[in-house]
């Protein structure tokens, strides 16, 4: 999922470079959403892993 976030960020940067503002803004929003979902899933996975050890 982090891979998709980076892909959308790169798409946003390329779109902004060529002047497609609306497309760049959409890709940035998708990248942000995917990054936060990844971060939440990583924290939950870490906590569950700690709980299973004990």
Q: What pLDDT does residue 15 have?
A: 82
Residue where the block lists tokens 């982090």: 2
Domain boundaries, the chain: 2-53
> What is d(CA 51, CA 45) in angstroms, rounded to the nearest whole number?
10
Q: What is the pLDDT of residues 36-47, one digit of tens each?
A: 998 898 899 999
With a CB cutoff of 8 Å and minimum separation 6, the contacts of 40 are none
The alpha carbon dihedral of 35, 37, 38, 43 has a sign of positive
pLDDT in 10s for each residue of the chain, 54 residues: 678 878 888 888 888 888 877 877 888 888 888 889 988 988 999 999 899 887
């Amino acid at each position: 999922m982090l891979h998709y976030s980076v892909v959308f960020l790169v798409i946003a940067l390329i779109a902004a470079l060529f002047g497609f503002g609306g497309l760049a803004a959409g890709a940035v929003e998708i990248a942000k959403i995917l990054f936060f979902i990844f971060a939440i899933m990583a924290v939950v996975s870490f906590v569950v892993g700690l709980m299973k050890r004990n």
